[in-house]
Amino acid sequence: MKNKFHNIPISILDLAVILEGKTAANSFKNSLSLAQKAENLGYNRFWLAEHHNMASIASSATSILIGHIANGTSTIRVGSGGIMLPNHAPLIVAEQFGTLASLYPDRIDLGLGRAPGTDQLTARALQRNDQAAFEFPKTVRELQEYLSIENRDSPVRAIPGEGLNIPIWILGSSTDSARLAASFGLPYAFASHFAPQQLLEALRIYRTNFKPSEHLKEPYVMACVNVTAAETTHEAQVLATSMQKIFLGILTNDRRPLQPADENFKINDKAKSVLRQFLAYSFVGSPSDIKTALEQFVEETQIDELMVVSHIYDHEARLNSYKIIKESQDVTKKD
């Protein structure tokens, strides 16, 4: 019997992760290579996330990188997962994404987040406004206004941007974002790859409170998970040590570029317990392991779209992981 997983769109979240011993330029080259591979495999979207002051992430100038990826592909949707709106004036975001949507029609998504995507000190350097996050609903409305055709008679206009019908998503890792997405009648993307605890409650709140809008008639939700896939379970477990190191670095505030896989990597029981909670929706294994895990996740959540991220040091192994993930949707393929 077919599980819902075998019919839903699958998308990719990319952070342009910087590898130990490599540069941001290498990361951008790898991101484009991955996007092109994803397009050929039939992935639906390729999103990039805004982060700042992180030694392992190069996607800080997110809109510029979106343009680079869109220019090197032809059909896959490209967007932000997300733009951290408190860091920006809504007019600037409208103009930037209006430019992208004009260059790459019907291919650009605008995912918006409330968090700064960085530490508090860097957030102040970016925002210059300690209240910016609390004004998120207001600034989302302001951005929607700039992008609307009705704004053509306003004294302040987003050109390009006005009237281009760029899909806006609300991103989140808590129930607050679920309520906002529901009240605005917008699609909702949940960051369960690093904030798994509130996923199911957030989905319930979003679906229960959803108000149809001109943008969306019924709830539409996407959830993101970490996946490390390889030909064997052991190989995947070794590759996943890079992911474990990067998340452990976040938890201990020892942030470094993505480290190579290490078969001898060990963590103590306390750290292992914390990581297990942090990475509850992280799936590691062989093609059959991944197929089963993703089927169960989609069945449990009943999401409309799945987003995956693979923190793998070796680029060819990373490409292969995404290949295995997409092939796991094929119910005719034998394990």
Q: Per residue in 188-241, pLDDT tens?
A: 999 999 889 999 999 999 999 999 999 999 999 999 999 999 999 999 999 999
What pLDDT was estimated at residue 43? 98
What pLDDT was estimated at residue 250? 75
Task: Judge whether residue 330 has pLDDT over 90.
Answer: no
Burial of 105 per CB tally in 10 Å (0-12, 13-18, 19+): exposed
Task: Judge whether residue 113 has pLDDT over 70.
Answer: yes
What pLDDT was estimated at residue 108? 98
pLDDT single digits (tens) 262-321: 999 888 878 888 888 888 999 999 999 999 999 999 999 999 999 999 999 999 999 999
Task: Judge whether residue 50 has pLDDT over 90.
Answer: yes
List of residues 6+ apart from 88 with CB closer than 8 A: none
Classify domain 1-166 by CATH number.
3.20.20.30
Task: Judge whether residue 333 has pLDDT over 90.
Answer: no
Rounded to the nearest angstrom, the gap between the alpha carbon of residue 214 and the centroid of all alpha carbons in its chain is: 24
What pLDDT was estimated at residue 153? 93
Task: Judge whether residue 139 has pLDDT over 70.
Answer: yes
Share of the chain above pLDDT 70, in %: 95
What pLDDT was estimated at residue 117? 57
**Residue range(s) in the chain whose domain bears CATH number 3.20.20.30:** 1-166
Higher-pLDDT residue of 255, 20: 20
Average model confidence (pLDDT) across the chain: 93
What pLDDT was estimated at residue 53? 86
What is residue 46's three-state secondary structure?
strand
**Average pLDDT rounded to a whole number, residues 121-135:** 73
Q: Give alpha helix (H) positions in the chain.
A: 24-41, 62-71, 90-103, 120-127, 136-147, 175-184, 199-209, 233-239, 241-252, 269-278, 287-301, 315-327
Length of the chain: 335
Band (pLDDT 50/70/90 cuts) for residue 119 is: low
The pTM for the full model equals 0.94
Rounded (10°) CA dihedral 241, 113, 147, 96: -50
